[in-house]
Structure 1
Amino acid sequence: MAKKQFTGLKTEFYEHPFDHKALMSLERTPVLPLLLKKVNEYGIDRLLRMQITGGEFKVTPRNFPSLHDAFLEACHILDITPIPELFLFRGTGYIKAYAVGVEKPVVGINLEGMEWLSHDELLFVFGHEVARIKGKYLAYQQMAHVMPVVKNLISSTTLGIGGLAANGIEIALYNWMIMAKFTADRAGLLACQNLDVAITALMKLGGLPQEYLNEDTINDFVTQARAFEFNNLDSLGQFAKTFSFMEHLLPWTVMRASELLKWVDSGDYEDLLQGKELGSQQPENQEDDENWNFLSAWDGNS
Structure 2
Amino acid sequence: MGFVKTPLIGLRADHFRHPLDLEATASLKQIPGLDLLIRTVLGPIAEQFFYLENIASSVLVSEQQLPDLHKLLLEACRVLDLEPPQLYVRQHPVPNAYTFAMRGKQPFVVLHTSLIDLLTLEEIQAVIAHELGHLKCEHSVYLTPVNILVLAAKQLPNWGEMLAQSIEAQLLEWVRCAEFTCDRAALLATQNPKVVASVLMKLAGGSPTLAGQLNLDAFLKQARAYDDISNDQLGEMLKQARTAQLTHPVPVLRAREIDRWANSKAYQSLLETRSLSNPEETKSGGWRNW
Q: TM-score, normalised by structure 2?
A: 0.83
Equivalent of residue 275 in structure 1, options 263, 269, 273? 273
Match of 1:12 in 2: 14
Question: Would you tell me which structure has more helix in proportion to its own residues?
Answer: 2
Q: 2:247 aligned with 1:229, yes or no?
A: no
Match of 1:118 in 2: 120
Match of 1:108 in 2: 110
Residues 183-230 of structure 1 show CA distances to partners (whole Å, capped at 9, x for unaligned) of 000000001111111111211222413543468722110111233329
Preserved CA contact (<8 Å) 2:142 2:171:
yes
Work out the CA distance in 2 between the residues paired with 1:3 and 1:195: 13
| Secondary structure of residue in 1 paired with 2:128 | helix
Q: Which moved more, 1:52-61 or 1:235-244?
A: 235-244
Match of 2:137 in 1: 135
Match of 1:260 in 2: 258
Preserved CA contact (<8 Å) 2:179 2:249:
no
Correspondence 1:66-81 to 2 at 5 A: 66-81=68-83
Q: 2:87 aligned with 1:89, yes or no?
A: no
Work out the CA distance in 1 between the residues paired with 2:115 and 2:72: 12
**Distance 1:148-1:188 versus aligned 2 partners, 3 A rule:** closer
Work out the CA distance in 2 between the residues paired with 1:227 and 1:237: 12
Work out the CA distance in 1 between the residues paired with 2:100 and 2:110: 9
Work out the CA distance in 1 between the residues paired with 2:188 and 2:112: 22
Amino acid at match of 2:74: L
Match of 1:285 in 2: none
Work out the CA distance in 1 between the residues paired with 2:231 and 2:243: 11
Tell me by how many angstroms 1:180 deviates: 0.6
Match of 1:48 in 2: 50
* TM-align CA RMSD: 2.9
Work out the CA distance in 2 between the residues paired with 1:43 and 1:185: 28
- Runs of 5+ consecutive residues of structure 1 not aligned to the other structure: 282-302
Q: 2:59 aligned with 1:57, yes or no?
A: yes
Preserved CA contact (<8 Å) 2:197 2:258:
no
Match of 2:149 in 1: 147
| Secondary structure of residue in 2 paired with 1:99 | strand
**Distance 1:31-1:235 versus aligned 2 partners, 3 A rule:** farther
Q: Which moved more, 1:177-186 or 1:41-50?
A: 41-50
| Secondary structure of residue in 1 paired with 2:77 | helix
**Distance 1:230-1:253 versus aligned 2 partners, 3 A rule:** same
Preserved CA contact (<8 Å) 1:202 1:253:
yes
Preserved CA contact (<8 Å) 2:80 2:189:
yes
Identity among equivalent positions (%) equals 29
Work out the CA distance in 1 between the residues paired with 2:239 and 2:209: 35
Preserved CA contact (<8 Å) 1:98 1:129:
yes
Preserved CA contact (<8 Å) 1:5 1:78:
yes
Q: TM-score, normalised by structure 1?
A: 0.80
Amino acid at match of 1:253: P
Work out the CA distance in 2 between the residues paired with 1:162 and 1:205: 30
Preserved CA contact (<8 Å) 1:128 1:184:
yes
Match of 1:193 in 2: 191
Match of 2:168 in 1: 170
Alignment length (residue pairs):
274
